[in-house]
Structure 1
Amino acid sequence: MPSTVIPLLVCDDSAMARKQLIRALPADWPVSITQATQGEEALQAIRQGLGQVVLLDLTMPVMDGYEVLAHLRDEGLKAKVVVVSGDVQEEAVRRVSDLGALAFLKKPADPDDLRRTLAGLGLLVPSTAKGPQTPPRAEPVLTVNFRDTLREVSNIAMGRAAALLARVLGVFVQLPIPNVNIFEVSELHMALTDAQRGERLSAVCQGFIGDAIAGEALLLFHDSEVADMARLIGVQPKGERDTSEMLLDLASLLIGACLTGIAEQIDVRFSQGHPQLLGQHASIERLIHLNRTRWKKTLAVEISYSLEGHDVHFDLLLLFTEDSLARLTDKINYLMG
């Protein structure tokens, strides 16, 4: 292998994200590509000399991107890191910079932005006619499935929603890895019961439809945390009506941002209904009973936000109708192609 070839490590738990990022690489950049699916794998590859340049995700299982950057700093490893993440909170950008990342790009990385960033950092040294010619880069074969792709689409969408929430509340939002599952009504009941954690809930529902894709977004608030949310927003609800309005406003912000993020990626336009308070201080059994006719078999995307330094969580479920699966599959397959 010519000495001009740069060892590049692409680290992301999503095969879809790695595929998109590798496709976005400059075609004339002579690199050898290694992939890692989480932070521990990335560190092992870097220690072996396989990550002179690293394109690093933040939200991953086992060891996330923040931990990778901290280990690189503590071990004195010289990898040059560009973070590529769906978590676009201003605080996330500041934290990775403090930990030594050279740049931050939002997902999905635009090829032109990636090229400019690499060139600006002096990391992109294209092959030239005068120098040794680098053989055409062998693109790795990546198998990407529907669930992984929808999870990555949801990951990007939830990151945009978190950035809005962070600005409104003045907090750092901790992001999970979304779950994507097909549920029967009984299984949905179990998932919601788990989300309840033995507490009383208030729930907001908002319907959406567009291009033969329809469903409902369900946002669960834990009643024990509502007072903390009010303090963060800087309001003092004087009764149930004020509390309901606050929950509806927060739900509209989170649900709207998530749906917009998904719609932009799969090239649809969703019309959204007005958010409705399904129940306040209700048990999960009551919420399920009230909506049993709506929730049969559903494709569910589960996202659980939490606020750093506060005992506040938001459990968001995007429930796509069974009739939507064919069209949604077509849209996802196009992204996977």
Structure 2
Amino acid sequence: MGNPLPVIICDDSRLARKHMERALAPWNLAITHANHGLEALEAIRAGKGELLFLDLNMPMMDGYEVLERIRSQDLPVLTIVVSGDIQPEAHARVRNLGALDFIQKPINIEHLSRSLHAFGLLEEVTAATPASASASEPILTGTTSNSPIEQALALSGHYQELANVAMGQAAGLLAELMNTFIELPIPSVKLVEAGELEMAMQQSISQSSFTTVCQGFIAPGISGEALLILNGAQPDQLAQLLNHHGEINAQVERELTMEIAAVLIGAFLNGLGQQLDLNFSQSSPKMLDALPRRGNLTRTGQPDRILSIDISYRIEGLALSCDLLLLFTEDSLPKLNELASHLS
């Protein structure tokens, strides 16, 4: 069978690394995990990786920077990018930086196998090789706690990876619509008190440079609100991005804002629903000039916690930014936790 090929899996999501490791189980590999780009470069220099599977959106050093370092320092490693960013421009950029291939999250095993064999990287081993990931890095499922809040905290890495994939799908649609490149962040997932959230929302609504769109959504056992906050949105920029020609009045500006909101919110919920096997129903979007009624997200008189997923899209070359905030009620946590834990 020969010596195992040294492979590095670089992703800030522990769940994503384990999914990648499981996908690679049919091959004879010696796998090293890296939490971010700097760790991956250290592992390459230490001789731990002839092949690198690389995420793009990571703290400290992202995938683009890693590829630039590999090329500039002539490091001895072949790289395949594995990312939720489906923008054609992202694919083109990583290939120009030397990546052999781009595999979209969630991982398609057939695509992975075709890629590895196309480049002659690996030979399949016998069927006796275990087809499961090693137990070296266990994943918390959050199922041992009786508290939905504690379960959600334990599953925060799962929610971040779910958001990462859904975020990439939404950015892909927005980039296609606007014919531009969307800079993707690392999603922020946390549990917040209702009062803390209301203060932050009130601050954004009160600022004249911010435009906020609100849209409710439901699925079996799940409900919440999506907020899209546009910062620095000028009517002429919106018209240019959405290829609108003609007069721009208040009604047209409103319609352009609603169009961006529909794309981002709808695409994100669709991407999230596909991963959780859910169909989200959405209410009509509306401009938010005042806070929604407290009952929309909280139970009156109770200090509810809200699961918040915060994503800040940046449009390359423009001052315009889009902050997408997904807010799930505390009553939604049991169902969400159940579905998210199955990803393990």
TM-score between both structures, scaled by the size of structure 2: 0.88
- Residue 20 (structure 1) shift: 1.1
| Contact 1:214 1:324 (8 Å CA) reproduced | yes
State the AA in 2 paired with 1:19: K
Q: Aligned-pair RMSD on alpha carbons?
A: 2.3
- Residue 186 (structure 1) shift: 2.2
Change (3 A) 1:225 1:295: farther
1:244 corresponds to 2:254 = yes
| Contact 2:25 2:131 (8 Å CA) reproduced | no
Change (3 A) 1:136 1:157: closer
1:154 corresponds to 2:153 = no
- Residue 112 (structure 1) shift: 2.0
| Contact 2:25 2:133 (8 Å CA) reproduced | no
Structure 2, unaligned runs of 5 or more? 141-153, 299-303
- Residue 321 (structure 1) shift: 1.2
What SS does structure 1 have at the residue aligned with 2:342?
helix
Question: Which residue number corresponds to residue 113 of structure 2?
Answer: 115
Q: What per-residue deviation string (whole Å, max 9, x for no partner) do you get for residues 247-287 of structure 1?
A: 111111110000000000011111111212223xxxxxxx3
Structure 1, 149-158 or 177-186: larger mean CA deviation: 177-186
Question: Which residue number corresponds to residue 35 of structure 1?
Answer: 33
Structure 1, 229-238 or 76-85: larger mean CA deviation: 229-238
| Contact 2:219 2:278 (8 Å CA) reproduced | yes
Change (3 A) 1:203 1:128: closer
2:265 and 2:216 map into 1 onto residues whose CA distance is: 10
1:106 corresponds to 2:108 = no
- Residue 221 (structure 1) shift: 1.5
- Residue 88 (structure 1) shift: 1.1
Name the count of aligned residue pairs: 323
1:301 to 299, 309, 334: 309
Question: Which residue number corresponds to residue 17 of structure 1?
Answer: 16
Question: Which residue number corresponds to residue 151 of structure 2?
Answer: none
What SS does structure 2 have at the residue aligned with 1:246?
helix
TM-score between both structures, scaled by the size of structure 1: 0.90
- Residue 66 (structure 1) shift: 0.4
Question: Which residue number corresponds to residue 212 of structure 1?
Answer: 221
| Contact 1:26 1:115 (8 Å CA) reproduced | no
1:138 and 1:92 map into 2 onto residues whose CA distance is: 29
- Residue 237 (structure 1) shift: 5.1
1:141 corresponds to 2:147 = no
Q: What per-residue deviation string (whole Å, max 9, x for no partner) do you get for residues 152-192 of structure 1?
A: 00110010000111111111100011111111122213444
State the AA in 2 paired with 1:318: L
2:61 to 60, 63, 66: 63
- Residue 225 (structure 1) shift: 3.8
State the AA in 2 paired with 1:12: D
1:128 and 1:210 map into 2 onto residues whose CA distance is: 43
What SS does structure 2 have at the residue aligned with 1:268?
coil
2:268 to 258, 261, 284: 258
- Residue 26 (structure 1) shift: 4.1
Structure 1, unaligned runs of 5 or more? 280-286
- Residue 213 (structure 1) shift: 0.8
State the AA in 1 paired with 2:120: G
Question: Which residue number corresponds to residue 147 of structure 2?
Answer: none
- Residue 136 (structure 1) shift: 9.1
2:123 and 2:217 map into 1 onto residues whose CA distance is: 47
State the AA in 2 paired with 1:14: S
What SS does structure 2 have at the residue aligned with 1:335?
coil
Identity %: 42
1:83 corresponds to 2:81 = yes
- Residue 63 (structure 1) shift: 0.1
| Contact 2:313 2:323 (8 Å CA) reproduced | yes
Change (3 A) 1:12 1:193: farther
Question: Which residue number corresponds to residue 163 of structure 1?
Answer: 172
2:18 and 2:294 map into 1 onto residues whose CA distance is: 39
Change (3 A) 1:121 1:256: same
| Contact 1:81 1:103 (8 Å CA) reproduced | yes
1:137 and 1:31 map into 2 onto residues whose CA distance is: 13
2:332 to 324, 329, 332: 324
What SS does structure 1 have at the residue aligned with 2:81?
strand
Change (3 A) 1:155 1:195: farther
Q: What per-residue deviation string (whole Å, max 9, x for no partner) do you get for residues 71-115 of structure 1?
A: 000000120101000111000000000000000000011222211
1:277 corresponds to 2:287 = yes
